[in-house]
Structure 1
Amino acid sequence: MRVLVVGAGVGGLAIANGLLGKGHDVHVYEHAEALRTTGAGITVWSNGTAALRELGVDIEQLGRPLRSLRSLADSGRLLWEADLDEVTEKLGSPTVQIPRRTLISAMAAALPAERLHFDRRCVAVAEHPDHVEVTFADGGVATGDLLIGADGQRSVVRKEVLGGDPAKLTGWASWQGLTRSELPVAYGHQTLNIAGRNAHCGLIPTGDGLLHWWFDMPWQEGDPVLGVAELREHFRGWPDPVDRLLASVTDDDLGFFPHIRHKVPQVWGGARSTLLGDAVHAMPPAVAQAANQTMEDAWLLTQYLGDVEGAPADLLRAYERERRPRALKVSRTALFTSAQRRTPIQRLAVFPKWLATRSQVATLRAGSNVLRALTPPRPGISMA
């Protein structure tokens, strides 16, 4: 089948790799003039690395393997720590931190250059009994058998085929960056999360001396966008190395991202179209699963479209029916986790390492289609 993909981000490039591997004629259309390699780091959990590996993209040597996930209170008190080496052993795939630009470049490099079309902004979609058409801002038209909307939270494809409301603000935002650092945490293998009331931050080694850092606080449309000076004041006295990190960065290093969430619809497309990733289930980053859920989408859709004998609409709806419960579960968990960040920190429980590790395994599996298919649960691990 000739498959049109709108969007050359993580989801668009992932599905293109998967479907080309199944023998489909795939073309990716991107509104920008080149690959969009901005952004900070991406934590690719066991479900994401498994999905990418199945799609033909192995990132294990391109990023920083993470072996521990540690959470502190803003007083410095240890809340919990999960052993990610044990998570890897139980789920069969590692957790890797990787710069977004490296991930995007690797997925694009795996595709023949003629499959990527830049400066093609989708403005309209028309579905017909035997084909689908995409119209671009320059007046050009592309025709195919199927259309996949991978064009992010402001998806034109979603608007064209489903209508409905755009993603809504959740009341939180992130200030984040990816910078070279001399701090020891940048050369380790541990994610450090620090939780305060109405504020959270994190530091994640990303390889080659790069450190991905983020600061989350409540934010509403119309509120000021803080600079580094305001962040230094707000987070003054937090556990080491927060003060040292903020002393080392400037406003030029800051990226600002309001948190959003889509209502996940029952049906994700038309007779010859569907959606994946942020186009259908944008979610706040509280559980760091947005990109991983996108990779899950691409993997499962590739499995269904490997059966080229089925009617397109039947294959697409089957993909959506199987994928939606997992994506919805993760989206709800992300929203709940974000809301819980207003809980007074002294009320947060302390968990033993074995329980935090087991919880991480169960949580990843519960929101994953690929892990459930590739690694059957061991006795004693919840499949909720």
Structure 2
Amino acid sequence: METMRVLVIGAGVGGLAIANGLIDKGHQVQVFEHAEALRTTGAGITVWSNGTAALRELGVDIEAAGRPLHSLRSVTETGRLLWEADLGEVTERLGSPTVQIPRRRLIAEMAAALPPGVLHFGRRCTGVIEHPDHVVVEFADGSSVTGDVVIGADGQRSVVRREVLGGDPARPTGWASWQGLTSSELPIAHGHMTLNIAGRNAHCGLIPTGDGLLHWWFDVPWKDGDPVLSVAELRQVFRGWPEPVEDLLASVTDDDLGFFPHIRHKVPQVWGGPRSTLLGDAVHAMPPAVAQAANQTLEDAWLLTQFLSNVEGSPEGLLRAYEQERRPRALKVSRTAALTSAQRSTPLQRLAKFPKWLATRSQVASLRSGSNVLRSLARQPRVQIA
């Protein structure tokens, strides 16, 4: 095996995940982050079975750090049950649990698993120059660094994507989320059930995140130029919704609100140059309608680690092979997220109630169809214990 010098741009979920994977394979990895410290903004992340499987394969186990989820329930704004999936059965079928975890804790867990000297802060990438036998990354402070491969894990406004591919940035979808992560005495904050509530022109969700924390989100149509809603305005929009929506909104303030317009990237055929590639939101940012963005990022990191585990000669063929195998799954999930988001105004009277077994089976099928890691692990022979 040939050891590579890998330059990772971005110390978010994707950058930390790929660093863990490639260091475990013996590569020399350096991660460069434009912020002055780890970015701990954001609320909670639902790490589905494919995400927890990918993390486990990358050497990071978050089960003890997060909140296991046992049920996923969806109701209408009048409280009528649409469907409920048994996430315990999903775990049994796919071999890995669903865990809700604060984003800051996930970032901390992955960063703590890295050796000293890997993370570099205050280094804003401004340029990527590829040569036949190496790649150079330039920074805003005038410095540069040389490596064998550069991986753009720098999010929806990726400088690496712009430098190696050009093209349009991610586009808004016409929706936005107002979300937060707060301590709560509401019973749902201390359980193991995700509650999604679907309205005619708005949606919301509540997810227990461990230690009495509740991740909540409110989605409404939004486009550039529209006002950013306050808590008082959200209370008006969601007045009369099923419990505990009004109680939750009564307990939070504008300081608790995070505002996130929904966006979507066009997923290109090729993700990089001779010595570069992309992962996560840098290549396939998607609306949060199916809660898979972070999980697809972890899938990218896992698969790229597999392709770069045994490098002989130029890495270009391996980078393109990673993209070719990963793209169909990521594209499918991205399209599903966009379609789900676009159909959120479907009249709810047309939506029939799904039996629990069918909702559970659909969840299993959906996770498996969009996952490289679950399909790979399913092909591995099971160890029989006497």
Asked if 1:236 corresponds to 2:239, the answer is yes
Q: What is the alpha-carbon distance in structure 2 between the residues aligned to residue 326 and residue 148 of structure 1?
A: 19
SS in 2 for 1:113: coil
Gaps of at least 5 residues in structure 2 are 381-386
Aligned residue in 2 for 1:335 = 338
- Which runs of at least 4 in structure 1 moved beyond 3 Å after TM superposition? none
Q: What is the alpha-carbon distance in structure 2 between the residues aligned to residue 113 and residue 278 of structure 1?
A: 26
SS in 1 for 2:100: strand
Query: What is the identity percentage for the equivalent residue pairs of Structure 1 and Structure 2?
Result: 82
2:42 to 36, 39, 43: 39
Aligned residue in 1 for 2:276 = 273
Aligned residue in 2 for 1:381 = none
TM-score (normalizing by structure 1): 0.98
Aligned residue in 1 for 2:221 = 218
Q: What is the alpha-carbon distance in structure 1 between the residues aligned to residue 251 and residue 104 of structure 2?
A: 22
Q: What is the alpha-carbon distance in structure 1 between the residues aligned to residue 379 and residue 75 of structure 2?
A: 32
Aligned residue in 1 for 2:122 = 119
Aligned residue in 2 for 1:375 = 378
2:51 to 48, 70, 73: 48
SS in 1 for 2:194: strand
Asked if 1:175 corresponds to 2:178, the answer is yes
Q: What is the alpha-carbon distance in structure 2 between the residues aligned to residue 318 and residue 198 of structure 1?
A: 42
Aligned residue in 1 for 2:203 = 200
**Residue type matched to 1:358 in 2?**
R
- What are the within-5 Å matches in structure 2 for residues 87-98 of structure 1? 87-98=90-101
**Residue type matched to 2:339 in 1?**
F
Q: 1:141-186: per-residue Cα shift (whole Å, max 9, x none)? A: 0100000000000000000000000000000000000000000000
1:312 to 312, 315, 319: 315
Q: What is the alpha-carbon distance in structure 2 between the residues aligned to residue 143 and residue 198 of structure 1?
A: 50
The alpha-carbon deviation at position 269 of structure 1 amounts to: 0.1
Q: What is the alpha-carbon distance in structure 2 between the residues aligned to residue 317 and residue 375 of structure 1?
A: 24
**Residue type matched to 1:223 in 2?**
D
Q: What is the alpha-carbon distance in structure 2 between the residues aligned to residue 349 and residue 317 of structure 1?
A: 43
SS in 1 for 2:163: helix
Q: 1:307-346: per-residue Cα shift (whole Å, max 9, x none)? A: 1115310000000000000000000000000011010111
SS in 2 for 1:38: coil
Q: What is the alpha-carbon distance in structure 2 between the residues aligned to residue 337 and residue 376 of structure 1?
A: 30
Q: What is the alpha-carbon distance in structure 2 between the residues aligned to residue 174 and residue 376 of structure 1?
A: 38
Q: What is the alpha-carbon distance in structure 2 between the residues aligned to residue 376 and residue 141 of structure 1?
A: 43
- What are the within-5 Å matches in structure 2 for residues 43-122 of structure 1? 43-122=46-125
Asked if 1:7 corresponds to 2:10, the answer is yes
Q: 1:64-106: per-residue Cα shift (whole Å, max 9, x none)? A: 0000000000010000000000000000000000000000000
1:133 to 131, 136, 152: 136
**Residue type matched to 1:7 in 2?**
G
SS in 2 for 1:351: coil
1:184 to 184, 187, 196: 187
Q: What is the alpha-carbon distance in structure 1 between the residues aligned to residue 51 and residue 246 of structure 2?
A: 32
SS in 1 for 2:227: coil
Asked if 1:325 corresponds to 2:328, the answer is yes
Aligned residue in 1 for 2:287 = 284
The alpha-carbon deviation at position 347 of structure 1 amounts to: 1.2
**Residue type matched to 1:262 in 2?**
H
Asked if 1:257 corresponds to 2:260, the answer is yes
**Residue type matched to 1:336 in 2?**
L
SS in 2 for 1:112: coil
Q: What is the alpha-carbon distance in structure 1 between the residues aligned to residue 314 and residue 8 of structure 2?
A: 19
Q: What is the alpha-carbon distance in structure 2 between the residues aligned to residue 286 and residue 376 of structure 1?
A: 29
The alpha-carbon deviation at position 113 of structure 1 amounts to: 2.5
Asked if 1:149 corresponds to 2:148, the answer is no
TM-score (normalizing by structure 2): 0.97
Aligned residue in 2 for 1:382 = none
SS in 1 for 2:117: helix
Q: 1:10-33: per-residue Cα shift (whole Å, max 9, x none)? A: 000000000000000000000000
Asked if 1:209 corresponds to 2:212, the answer is yes
The count of aligned residue pairs is 377
2:356 to 332, 353, 356: 353
Aligned residue in 2 for 1:380 = none
**Residue type matched to 1:186 in 2?**
A
**Residue type matched to 1:175 in 2?**
W
Q: 1:247-290: per-residue Cα shift (whole Å, max 9, x none)? A: 00000000000000000000000000000000000000000000
Gaps of at least 5 residues in structure 1 are 378-384
SS in 1 for 2:374: helix
RMSD between aligned residues: 0.8
Aligned residue in 1 for 2:383 = none
SS in 2 for 1:375: helix
**Residue type matched to 2:175 in 1?**
W
Aligned residue in 1 for 2:384 = none
Q: What is the alpha-carbon distance in structure 2 between the residues aligned to residue 349 and residue 54 of structure 1?
A: 39
Structure 1, 309-318 or 213-222: larger mean CA deviation: 309-318
